[in-house]
């Protein structure tokens, strides 16, 4: 138990823990495996040699009370089979599941950790293909050549059953696999366990910087450019365009480096066209200047029929509704068109700013 706990303690919160277990018939060992997985809180668990079918052990039983999403490939006859359990907290989808023959089953899922996406593939190879990874046979060399061509690196260095490495971890990102170790087998299991952690975090890219010409020291730039004896400088260079341009850059670049600072820019891509970006900035600027202060009324005080100034919002709404209901009353002939100044003075609703 101490070794299992040590494997977990060395993982930080940014690491997702994995465990590979050869169960050699998972059916009657489900309570033992569920207790082990729940105790050490693995994110992904791979079971090989499950020896099950949907009729004997269904996905609900393998999910351990819905803690995991289950992906499986059962052998058509007895024996073999694989099951990949991915934490229900991690978004995942089935990539493929297939039983190639009685000797090989595989299942794969696309899984998201943090901001990264990984393809996790679990493969079981029957003992009928008895070639250990540390056995220098022709078949093993062919398999190692295949993994090398796919840029896969084998991370397990200790035997997992007897003196042979039968349970392996292959990855295209060896720098992200940490603390890969072989743990003692659980009761009733004849294979050791393989546990490791996956660093799913993406290194933050360095900030993007550009020259900030708005903050440049233009007085000094003009002075230093004016102080250059261009005639002598260019006369000393070859009179080819490339040589003259190179001599010009040799003078200008140091002046820029000394007088034009850098500024950071956002690394997030802005997908709007330049014209749309300008319009968006302009609208935000106008909105910022036109933004009303807190507790300020959007409509000034209104004068009711009795000449009382009303500032309550609900009363102003009622006054406006009453006024416009008269304007749109079709049973009453429309009022005569008057100049705006006279119409404002005769209106029942007047602004206190009008005489």
Write out the two tokens for 329: 């009353």
pLDDT tens, 4-63? Answer: 544 444 433 457 899 999 999 998 899 999 999 989 989 999 999 999 998 899 999 999
pLDDT value, residue 269? 54
More confident residue, 236 or 198: 198
pLDDT tens, 240-296? Answer: 888 888 889 999 999 999 999 999 887 655 566 778 878 888 888 887 766 555 555
pLDDT tens, 203-219? Answer: 566 778 899 999 999 99
Residues forming beta bridges with residue 93, ordered by sequence position = 110
Please state the rounded mean pLDDT for residues 119-147: 73
| CA–CA gap between residue 116 and residue 201 (Å, rounded) | 7
pLDDT tens, 155-170? Answer: 999 999 999 999 999 9
- Over the chain, what is the mean pLDDT? 81
Domains and CATH numbers, the chain: 2-199 (3.60.10.10), 208-270 (no CATH), 302-346 (no CATH)
| CA–CA gap between residue 91 and residue 79 (Å, rounded) | 30
pLDDT value, residue 331? 60
More confident residue, 253 or 134: 253
- Helices marked H in the chain — which ranges? 2-9, 30-40, 59-62, 138-149, 218-226, 230-235, 241-259, 274-290, 313-327, 340-346
pTM: 0.54
Strand duo 68-73 + 44-48: pairing? unpaired
At 214, is the secondary structure helix, strand, or coil? helix
Strand duo 44-48 + 15-22: pairing? parallel
| CA–CA gap between residue 124 and residue 191 (Å, rounded) | 13
């Amino acid at each position: 138990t101490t070794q299992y706990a040590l494997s977990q303690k060395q993982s930080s919160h940014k690491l997702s823990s994995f465990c590979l277990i050869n169960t050699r018939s998972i059916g009657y060992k489900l309570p033992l495996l569920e207790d082990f997985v729940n105790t050490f809180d693995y994110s992904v668990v791979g079971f090989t040699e499950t020896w099950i079918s949907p009729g004997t052990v269904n996905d609900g039983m393998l999910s351990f009370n819905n803690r995991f999403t289950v992906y499986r490939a059962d052998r058509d006859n007895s024996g073999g089979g694989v099951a990949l359990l991915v934490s229900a907290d991690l978004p995942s989808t089935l990539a493929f599941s297939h039983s190639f023959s009685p000797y090989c089953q595989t299942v794969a899922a696309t899984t998201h950790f943090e901001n990264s996406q990984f393809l996790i593939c679990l493969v079981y190879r029957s003992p009928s293909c008895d070639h250990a990874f540390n056995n220098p046979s022709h078949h093993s060399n062919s398999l190692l050549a295949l993994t090398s061509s796919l840029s896969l690196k084998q991370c397990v260095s200790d035997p997992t059953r007897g003196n042979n490495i039968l349970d392996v971890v292959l990855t295209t990102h060896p720098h992200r696999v940490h603390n890969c170790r072989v743990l003692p087998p659980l009761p009733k299991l004849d294979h050791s366990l393989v546990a490791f952690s996956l660093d799913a975090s993406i290194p933050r890219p360095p900030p993007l910087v550009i020259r900030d010409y708005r903050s440049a020291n233009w007085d000094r730039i003009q002075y230093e450019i004016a102080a250059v004896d261009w005639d002598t400088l260019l006369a000393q260079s070859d009179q080819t365009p490339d040589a003259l341009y190179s001599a010009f850059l040799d003078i200008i670049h140091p002046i820029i480096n000394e007088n034009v600072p850098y500024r950071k820019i956002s690394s997030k891509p802005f997908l709007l066209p330049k014209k749309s970006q300008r319009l968006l900035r302009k609208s935000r600027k106008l909105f910022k200047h036109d933004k009303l202060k807190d507790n300020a009324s959007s409509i000034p005080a209104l004068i009711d029929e009795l000449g009382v100034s009303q500032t309550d919002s609900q009363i102003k709404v009622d006054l406006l509704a009453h006024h416009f209901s008269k304007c749109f009353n079709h049973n009453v002939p429309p009022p005569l068109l008057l100049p705006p100044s006279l119409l404002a003075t005769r209106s029942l609703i007047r602004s206190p700013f009008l005489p």
